[in-house]
Structure 1
């Protein structure tokens, strides 16, 4: 249970850090690149065996790690933009409601049972993302600004599905740190390449605050993944129960912190979406 609690805390802190980047004018992409370098270092430090590059390259999970590296850098940027432009509640709902996608994947790939309860939960989940994302200023044009939370929803879902599939199919329990470090290393290389191309086209500054912010984000990001994988490996916790507690807690805590510390305005429609999100997570994962 302690692993689950630590994963919830770390995941919630990520949304807050992104919000603080916007407040203190920290370049998000620069900080994210530093974040992945930091997270990679932590993964290597947490690995208690000799690091043999040839074994990593020849491992069964390497192609999954490469794909996740691309997704991590892309969706992390989308998450940051969603938190900054749409608010903490929208970002948390869009990313955490994506639990529906691995559930749908499980129905088709693992032939898991599907009934009226799951279908109702999935429909409610999709509606909740829409309702929680609508802002009062866009009420006359409700689709405006929805592309970020929708992209975050599907991207996070693909990441969660891929992590769970690789963890259950290819990943030995003692390989979690090196697997995580490899994903972060690939994301760092991709992000660095983007920054280099940008610098060639137009030189820019790389301020110290971006490095500090990236280091803080990297430590938090690493442990959000590490403790989630540790919790999934724990025999006393079923994945359905774990995802229920994890996702509902993050949505609720992020919403409350957005209200208290960032004075975010949440309309009645948004509240309806947040409540639907919590209900749908419980319905689907306990079906």
Structure 2
């Protein structure tokens, strides 16, 4: 269980970082590029993957790594477009509703056994999600964790009709990333080497994108990427470890991560940033805890 707790904690810390970075004028797209380089360095230093066999991965693993290398940075860009066209609140909701995809995959792709207790836990998790996402508009906009590559001038609310393709991209992108990490955890390939390659590919593509845009480099933004890299490395490392710890219960990991991050993030927003909570939000936190208890294996 400690792997899930650590992963949730690091994920919430990433969200807090992004909120503070945006307020401090950090260019988060540049911080994201350094974040992947930092994650690569941490992987080499702490995990010491076997470099002599690094590229000797099965074709199926290379496919997973290639998809992650593209999706991890691309979802930031899609999220930025969604915020510009459909607004922060709708974009954040689309990201959270992506939980539906990995839960479906747990039963349809990973063949997790369905029981009445587990089905009730999933239903409770979705109810908790609805309660936690129901907020006053101003509070929801402040609480959004999806402002990664957005500058203040990008935040003009657009039309939902124009923005629905990007919202669909956010929903599918985050859901697919969760599924791919689970697939990586069960692939049997070298864990540390796979993690290193996924960070390296994502960092390479992010760097190329910034060069293509002829970005003006910002020293403070680049330096802040070091901290983001530490937090993001911890989040992904423990998330994959959680899937390895509960190989037969992916629903627990998917639901606990998403609902746990939203619940703790909601409390952190209220405590650190004075975001308003309603009685419905507090009910959502209670339902989330109940869902995790139901999904946890006996």
Give the TM-score normalised by structure 2: 0.72
SS at match of 1:209: helix
| Partner in structure 2 of residue 184 of structure 1 | 199
Cα deviation for residue 158 of structure 1 reads 0.8
Distance 1:149 1:284 in 2: 31
Indicate if the aligned counterparts of 1:56 and 1:62 stay in contact, CA closer than 8 A.
no
| Partner in structure 2 of residue 208 of structure 1 | 219
Indicate if the aligned counterparts of 2:32 and 2:225 stay in contact, CA closer than 8 A.
yes
| Partner in structure 1 of residue 188 of structure 2 | 171
The CA deviation string for residues 23-52 of structure 1, in whole angstroms up to 9 with x for no partner, is: 101111111111111111212223335313
Indicate if the aligned counterparts of 1:95 and 1:152 stay in contact, CA closer than 8 A.
yes
| Partner in structure 2 of residue 225 of structure 1 | 236
Relative distance call for 1:219 and 1:286 in structure 2 (3 A) is: closer
Indicate if the aligned counterparts of 2:132 and 2:262 stay in contact, CA closer than 8 A.
no
Distance 1:142 1:274 in 2: 29
Cα deviation for residue 166 of structure 1 reads 2.6
For 1:155, which of 165, 170, 173 is the aligned residue? 173
Query: Does 2:137 match 1:136?
Result: yes
The CA deviation string for residues 186-220 of structure 1, in whole angstroms up to 9 with x for no partner, is: 11111111111111xxxx43122111211111111
| Partner in structure 2 of residue 278 of structure 1 | 288
Indicate if the aligned counterparts of 1:42 and 1:181 stay in contact, CA closer than 8 A.
no
Cα deviation for residue 276 of structure 1 reads 9.0
The CA deviation string for residues 72-112 of structure 1, in whole angstroms up to 9 with x for no partner, is: 112245668999x748xx85x76555343122123323444
Q: How does 1:93-132 map to 2 (within 5 A)?
A: 95=95, 98-113=98-113, 118=119, 121=122, 125=126, 128=129, 132=133
| Partner in structure 1 of residue 61 of structure 2 | 61
Indicate if the aligned counterparts of 1:12 and 1:250 stay in contact, CA closer than 8 A.
yes
The CA deviation string for residues 148-185 of structure 1, in whole angstroms up to 9 with x for no partner, is: 776544322111111112321x234xx22221111111
Q: Which moved more, 1:121-130 or 1:252-261?
A: 121-130
Distance 2:159 2:283 in 1: 14
Q: CA RMSD in A?
A: 4.2
Relative distance call for 1:242 and 1:53 in structure 2 (3 A) is: closer
Distance 1:51 1:250 in 2: 34
Distance 2:247 2:102 in 1: 21
SS at match of 1:205: coil
Q: Which moved more, 1:17-26 or 1:234-243?
A: 234-243
The CA deviation string for residues 232-267 of structure 1, in whole angstroms up to 9 with x for no partner, is: 223699544444444333222100111222233455
Query: Does 2:265 match 1:254?
Result: yes
Distance 2:287 2:175 in 1: 15
Distance 2:160 2:127 in 1: 14
Aligned length: 274
